[in-house]
Chains A and B, each alone.
Chain A
Amino acid sequence: MSHSPNPNDQNDQNPDPSRRSRSLSLPEFFFKEQALKHVILKMHHHHHHSNQSNQNNNHNNHSNHNRHISLSPTPSPPSSPEPTTDLTALVVDPPAPNPTSLLSDNVLNLIFSKLPVSQYPSNSLVCRRWLYLHGRLVQSLKLFDWSFLDSGRLFHRFPNLSDVDIVHACIRVPRNAGIIVTRKYFSVHLDSSLSRDRFVGEEDLLPSRVIDSGLKSLAESYPNLRRLVVIGASVDGLSSVAKECQLLQELDVIACGDLSLKGISGCMNLQIMKLIGFVDGFFGSVVSDIGLTILAQGCRRLVRLELCGCEGSYDGIKAIGQCCQMLEELTLSDHKMDGGWLAAVSFCGNLKILKVQSCKGSIDSRPGPDEHLGSCPALEALHLQRCQMRDKQAVRALFLVCRGVREIVLQDCYGLDDEVFGLATVCRRVRQLSLEGCSLLTVEGLESVILSWKDLQRLRVVSCNKIMDSAVTPALATLFSVLKELKWSPDSRSLLSSSLAETDLRKKGGRFFKSYKG
């Protein structure tokens, strides 16, 4: 219904002058144009067909309008939207009877795109045309009901998806399950009938052939797919995705196992990948060196890789380092890697950020001799979150591999005492340090390291309870004064009590208890 009539040739289609007794507003004018054409059509139709032809068109409203043919406009003020309904009772085809039908799809889409996505459901229920338009605007979706995909309604309703997450649809859960279990990076709805030792077991996942066939339809319907999150698929499903979706850039693969990764090797443009192998209490698939090597050889354009609950060792990491020359960010979460993997990180020639998260055991149980560790040439940042740092050999090996970093972030790491932190002096180029939740570290330990870092410019120390303001030495204070950026709030207790003092809460509490006792 896109209208941009050429200003030149519209003049000869002006309506009969005798009917222009008053100036018409735009809606009425347009409807006269449309109505005129449709009336002529309808008059022809009336000779040959009965009125029944109207019923077939599902864009008509279903009210019982008297469908008499009228050529004169209903007199009423131009700004009210009501007058058009009588006129358009005779319209057989769309537009539906309302002033927004004047607006082309493009203009309506411009308006809709200014509204929040949360309003799309209610907007879609306004009328069919809006449902149609909104469906085409939605680009990113999380699926919860497998039959919505299976029946094809997903493709029909939303033809322009570029980002699809089918994980929750693949887990069989009763519809009104009121419990949400979140484990690290994964959350799922459950009901209360837990009879097994796992939250979600293999029996709760759809069989992989079902998931594969769903993936095949998905891939065929969305060749421009950019991001996909999938669970429990096998080679067939993943290879149909790789074949049809050449633009796929981001892929999250959960519980798919080593050999299924063969399917991904066709994804030439894949840049961001997240592989979740094993999650405690949930799935137990294995990703090992085999899978890592298959992945490395297939997706050489990887820029960001996250491995969660994956096994593997030196060989797997080496394959990744050697094949994925563009890899810039590597994250290992809850890793189950064999000892000795750290030494392979130096193969990642372009790696800028290394993140190790949720490491309960040692970071690397057998790092090997220093000469074989090498160092990661382009590394700029090292982030350790929720890691156990008692194994000094492992921590030292890690710092050696990362000796060129400029930024170190240590968050909620345990076992990080002064001696362990002292190992960080091997990194001579640190410009930025962030410490949060490191409860064993003292001022002495901190001082001995950061005074040796000549390039230090930014420091952040939050909630490190053993670091006392009173223990800050003059040397340290001088250093603080030359820093570009300093955030110093080590004592979380003092933070809490100072904010409480502002609210006068403590005092009130005291009074309350006093009177209660009495």
Chain B
Amino acid sequence: MSNTSENPKPSSSSAKMTLKTSDNELFEVEEAVAMKFCTVKQYFEDEKDSDVAARGSTTVIPLPNVHSAVLATLISYGKKLPQSNAVADNHEEEETKKKERKKYEQGLLKNLMPGELLDLISAANYLDFKEGLEFFNQALADHIQNKSVEYVRKFFGIKNDYEPHEEEKYREEYAWAFEGVDED
């Protein structure tokens, strides 16, 4: 991984930024992709506002709460998203791009372990990466949909912290006391 980058020019779309992870790995990322991480964007904009001398040096943005493996996945997902400054494609190109993206997404999810998925969600939340958060949240929800209590506990490694009689009481209430109503 290269370490230093050129001085980021906000107007140019080929500008790159450097992100440093918790395990001291450096990632060089295109600005357009990095700006999808709103935490990074905020940091960058704060930097811009500070005095001119600081701006001259190379900006390496530290992300101490994100591990390199996780960041790598998030960056590659971010690259696959439609770029905000891209030229508008015609309908056919858009369709092919969509299909590619679906294939990529499926491949991504197939090999994920539960812990990795949680890491990705946590990192996407920290980075304020809205599309990534939405995507991985949906993937998780799809996976645990209609699964039993035991399955969910095992999947997340959650220990049952109920007393047995408590759990019984809650089950009883769910059976007799009320009925939640689905939104239409």
Contact = CB atoms under 8 A, between A and B. Distances in A.
A60 B64 contact: no
Contacts of A120: 180
B117 to A, nearest CB: 9
Interface string B43-66: 100000000000000000111111
Contact of B126 (A3, A106, A121): A3
A127 B154 CA distance: 12
Contacts of A25: 67, 69, 115, 119
A143 interface: yes
Nearest to A61: B159
Interface of B is mostly: helix
A141 B179 contact: yes
Interface string A120-136: 11111111101100000
Among A98, A118, A128, residue most surrounded by chain B Cβ atoms (within 10 Å): A98
Contacts of B177: 143-145, 148, 153
Contacts of A98: 156-159
24 contacts: A4-B126, A8-B62, A10-B62, A10-B65, A14-B64, A23-B67, A24-B67, A26-B67, A30-B65, A79-B113, A97-B159, A99-B118, A100-B158, A107-B137, A117-B182, A118-B182, A122-B149, A124-B170, A125-B171, A127-B162, A140-B180, A142-B180, A145-B177, A153-B173
A188 interface: no
Given A104-B125, A112-B141, 12 more contacts: A23-B67, A25-B69, A29-B65, A61-B160, A78-B115, A107-B133, A111-B140, A121-B180, A122-B148, A126-B153, A127-B161, A138-B180
A85 interface: yes
Given A7-B64, A175-B176, A127 B159 contact: yes
B129 to A, nearest CB: 12
A72 interface: no
Contacts of B171: 125
Contacts of A121: 174, 180
A62 B153 contact: no
Nearest to B173: A148
Contacts of B5: none
Contacts of B167: 125
A59 interface: yes
Interface residues of A, number: 72
Nearest to A59: B161
B43 A111 contact: no
Among B61, B163, B177, B182, residue most surrounded by chain A Cβ atoms (within 10 Å): B177
Interface of A: 3-5, 7-8, 10-11, 14, 23-27, 29-30, 58-63, 78-82, 84-85, 96-100, 102-104, 106-107, 110-112, 114-128, 130-131, 138, 140-145, 148, 153-154, 157, 163, 165, 175
Contact of B183 (A85, A102, A117, A125): A117
A26 B176 contact: no
Contacts of B128: 4
Given A29-B22, A145-B176, A175-B176, A140 B123 contact: no
B67 A116 contact: no
A124 B119 CA distance: 23
A5 B177 CA distance: 42
A7 B20 CA distance: 11
Interface in B77-127: 113-116, 118-119, 121-123, 125-126
A128 B23 CA distance: 34
Contacts of A102: 118, 122
Among B64, B113, B183, residue most surrounded by chain A Cβ atoms (within 10 Å): B64
A125 B113 CA distance: 23
Contact of B62 (A11, A103, A125): A11
B157 A82 contact: yes
B180 A26 contact: no
A27 B115 contact: yes
A163 B181 contact: yes
Contacts of A62: 161, 163
Interface in B9-24: 22-23
B161 A61 contact: yes
Contacts of B133: 107, 110
B145 interface: yes
Contact of A128 (B114, B140, B162, B180): B162
Nearest to A97: B159
A359 to B, nearest CB: 28
Among B123, B141, B157, residue most surrounded by chain A Cβ atoms (within 10 Å): B157
A3 B121 CA distance: 13
A103 B121 contact: yes
A228 to B, nearest CB: 13
B158 A127 contact: yes
8 shortest interchain CB distances as A-B pairs:
A81-B157, A114-B141, A23-B23, A148-B177, A145-B177, A79-B115, A121-B174, A98-B158
Contact of B153 (A60, A79, A127): A127
B138 interface: yes
B152 interface: yes
A30 B65 CA distance: 8
A142 B181 contact: yes
Among B63, B121, B148, residue most surrounded by chain A Cβ atoms (within 10 Å): B121
A39 B11 CA distance: 49
A100 B137 contact: no
Contacts of A116: 145-146, 182
A422 B43 CA distance: 76
A127 B114 CA distance: 18
A97 B39 CA distance: 28
B118 A27 contact: yes
A114 B68 CA distance: 29
A412 to B, nearest CB: 25
A100 B144 CA distance: 13
A55 to B, nearest CB: 13
A434 to B, nearest CB: 23
A144 B177 CA distance: 5
Contact of A99 (B156, B163, B179): B156
A11 B64 contact: yes
A27 B114 contact: no
A125 B162 contact: yes
Contact of A126 (B63, B116, B158, B182): B158
